[in-house]
Chains A and B, each alone.
Chain A
Amino acid sequence: MRIRTKFSAFSAAVVLATVAILAATAFFLQKRLISSHMDEIRRVQSAGFAAVCRQAITTDNELFMINFAKLLMESPGIAYAYYVDAEGRIRVHTDKKFFYKTLAEWTAGRPVGVIEAEHPVKIGGSPAGRAVIGFSENYARGLLEAALAQTTARVAAAAGVVVLAVLPAALLFAVILTAPIRALARGSEAVGRGEFTARVEVESKDELGDLAGRFNEMAQQLAILDEMKDEFISSVSHDLRSPMSAVKMYTQYMLFEDPDRDKILPQHRTFLLTIMESATRLGVFVTNMLDAAKIKAGRAEYHVQPMDAAVSVRNVRGLFGILAEKKGVALVESVAPDLPKAMADPERMDHVVANLVSNSLKFTPSGGKITIGARPDHGRVVLWVEDTGKGISPENLGKLFRRFGQVDVADQRAKRVTGTGLGLYIVKQTVEGMGGKIEVASEVGKGTTFTVTLAGAPPDAIVLPAGLHG
């Protein structure tokens, strides 16, 4: 339940409870007031009747008393009235048949549901009798109930008005109150996604405003730290590149270029191959780190030019040949004979294919096979890397190209598969940066195929020698 709903419901409940308590109190007080008021009326009426009786007796004019009793009967709610003298004889009664009857005779047939009010009649200081009026209990109750029903209706109407007024007000207040919380939630979500530039705009001077201010400071610190991290990685990678490049080029020279290379002892040759293989792996790693930093900072550059995809295939096969052999995985080339030239950055393309092969090698067990291929496709050039590895489940295929998106980290750690989780992210960014397209097809237990589609170059395009930018 949302805070604003809770708050509104709570406010409405509090208001309703208050109104209910007030209504109950008002009801009780009203009832008491009306009851005492009615008692007072009965007392006054019986006193009036008593005064008439006294007058009638002193003037010996019973007719006056009889007429007054008749008059009384005309007012609503009066059931009967009578005057009884000191000896207990009824002298006047609204019902004529009780005239001069004893009180006992009357009380025997007296109607029920009547409240009596009586007043003594004194003549010359000594009691002469009592004036009694019987009021209908039903009539009194009816009056009381009518009055209370009116009160109840009024209270209910007031409660309705109050609740109707309070609910939108409470809702509005809650919306205003929770707006900064929602802003903070959105900010947290953005920072969680790695958008450290996200800021929460809360102007209020209260605790929420304070919290938003601290949140923004935190996001700013995170942005600075993130930038420091990127710069650090970038500078470390850059400094690693030159010496590593030297290791690689000298080893390569000794193995394949040096005029005296035939004099290398066979075991030294193996050692040199191992050095080269390690330098290759480190090279891919360092280039990935640099590329990731550049892609993130939007500084990635691609020198798209006519290139021979077959050269990329050959280069990468050369780079990973020894490693594959050591793992017992066959690394084979499959280049179509009529392959046209492609439009891509040759150096970056080598790196893309190297990442794909490095990835396949990681997940292909001994005895498996990795094919690096290139083929024409309706004027375009397709480079593909196919393995007979463990495959990728459909739910993991979607996560594949994300930054640090290595699938199921825990599982991989258990199986001692290592990696930065950057390779495929860089592959996708690079291929798309060069105007190409990458696709993946996989079947668990059977293997995975990555397909890179590049634009074809015009047939008369000249391919520049490696590393040359005119």
Chain B
Amino acid sequence: MARVLVVDDEYSFAEFAKLLLEGLGHAALICLDGSKAVDMALIHRPELIILDLNMEELDGLDLIAQLKAREETKNIPLILASSSTDKADRAEALKRGAVYSILKPIQKETLKLLIDRLVPGQ
């Protein structure tokens, strides 16, 4: 079982990701406010973070930068989940440290494969 933090200000997507994660037997935490994601990561120490690109309070790109800037969070693998087809932003996210970029809606099989790969020995 892996602990996964889902950061998305769109409730329906965050909840759905949680549904899929729990279906796969993982523990999911939802963070609807990007600016609180770093604090939540510090408290709960997730093994994987799935984050949205376009968020009201804090942009996904800035969140990646903040997570990578902290010793405690910089090694947590990050997956970018976005419905935007903006190639430039996605490339930028990958450059800043996101490991994978996936398109919404998230597919269960894709999620399973990525967790198996990114969180070994869970």
A426-470 to B contact mask, C-beta < 8 Å, 1/0:
000000000000000000000000000000000000000111111
Digitize B99-122: 1 where CB-to-A-CB distance is under 8 Å, 0 elsewhere: 011111111111001100000000
Chain A residues, CB < 8 A from B20 = 253, 257
Interface size class, chain B? 20 to 34
Of chain A, the residue at the smallest CB distance from B11 is: A246
Say whether, besides A246-B13, A469-B103, A241 and B83 are in contact (CB < 8 Å). yes
Measured in the bound complex, the distance between the Cα atoms of B106 and A249 in whole Å is 9
Tell me which residues across on chain B come within 8 A of A467, comparing CB atoms.
102-107, 110
* Dominant secondary structure at the B interface: helix
> Looking at the complex, which one of B16, B23, B83, B107 makes contact with A250 (CB distance below 8 Å)?
B16
Q: Is the CB of B105 within 8 A of A245?
A: yes
**Is A250 touching B109 in the complex (CB atoms < 8 A)?**
no
Cβ contacts under 8 Å, A301 to chain B? 85, 87
A470 to B102, CA, bound (A): 8
B106: A residues at CB distance < 8 A: 467
The verdict on A75 contacting chain B, using a C-beta distance below 8 Å, is: no
Contact yes or no, B110 A468, CB < 8 A: yes
Residue interface bits B71-106, CB-to-A below 8 A is 1, else 0 = 000000000000101010010000000001111111
Known: A250-B12, A468-B100, A469-B103. A245 touches B108 (CB 8 A): no
Q: How far is the CA of A4 from the CA of B67 in the complex (A)?
A: 75
Residues of A within 8 A of B104 (CB): 245, 467
| Residue from A259, A294, A467 with most neighbouring chain B CB atoms (10 Å) | A467
- B113 adjacent to A465 (CB under 8 Å): yes
- Nearest B residue to A348 via CB reads B85
Is A199 among interface residues, defined by CB-CB distance under 8 A? no
Residue A248 CB within 8 A of the other chain:
yes
Where chain A touches its partner, the secondary structure class is: helix
- Asked if B83 and A468 make an inter-chain contact with CB atoms under 8 angstroms apart, the answer reads no
Interface bits B20-63 vs A (CB < 8 Å: 1, else 0): 10010000000000000000000000000000000000000000
B19 contacts A253, CB within 8 Å? yes
CB distance from A88 to the nearest CB of B (A): 129
B83:A466 contact, CB within 8 angstroms: no
CA distance A466 to B109 in the complex (A): 8
Residues of B within 8 A of A303 (CB): 87
CB pair A257–B23 under 8 Å, yes or no, is: yes
A267 CA to B113 CA, complexed, in Å: 35
Question: Quick check: B12 and A246 within 8 Å, CB to CB?
Answer: yes
Question: How far in angstroms is the closest Cβ of chain B from A262?
Answer: 15
Q: Which residues of A contact B102 (CB under 8 A)?
A: 467-469
A267-309 interface code vs B (CB 8 A; 1 in, 0 out): 0000000000000000000000000001000000101000000
**Quick check: B105 and A249 within 8 Å, CB to CB?**
yes
User: How far in angstroms is the closest Cβ of chain A from B86?
Assistant: 8
From B85, B90, B101, B105, give the contact of A248 (CB < 8 A): B105
CA–CA, A150 and B1, complex, Å: 121
Q: B83–A245 contact, CB under 8 A?
A: yes
Select which of B13, B19, B114 is within 8 A of A468 by beta carbon.
Answer: B114
Q: Within the complex, what minimum Cβ distance (angstroms) separates A359 from chain B?
A: 23
- The CA-CA distance from A468 to B105 in the complex, in Å, is 11
A242 on the interface (CB 8 Å rule)? Answer: yes
Known contacts A242-B10, A465-B113, A468-B110; decide if A347 and B16 are in contact (CB<8 Å): no
Cα(A245)–Cα(B103), bound, Å: 12
Cβ contacts under 8 Å, B113 to chain A? 465, 468
Interface centre among A347, A468, A470 (most CB of B within 10 A): A468
Query: Contacts of B16 on A, CB cut-off 8 Å?
Result: 246, 249-250, 253
Chain B residues near A76 (CB-CB < 8 A): none
Q: Would you call A125 an interface residue if the criterion is a C-beta within 8 Å of the partner chain's C-beta atoms?
A: no
Chain B residues positioned under 8 Å from A242 (CB to CB): 10, 12-13, 83
Residues of A within 8 A of B90 (CB): 469
Known interface pairs A246-B13, A301-B85; A347-B103 also in contact (CB < 8 Å): yes
Known contacts A243-B12, A246-B13, A259-B23; decide if A465 and B107 are in contact (CB<8 Å). Answer: yes
- Give every chain B residue within 8 A of A466 (Cβ-Cβ): 107, 109-110
Query: Which residues from chain B contact A468 at a C-beta distance below 8 Å?
Result: 100-103, 110, 113-114
Q: Which are the 8 A-B pairs with shortest beta-carbon distances?
A: A246-B12, A467-B103, A465-B110, A249-B105, A466-B107, A469-B101, A467-B102, A301-B87
Q: Given A249-B16, A466-B107, 4 more contacts at CB 8 Å?
A: A246-B10, A248-B105, A465-B110, A468-B114
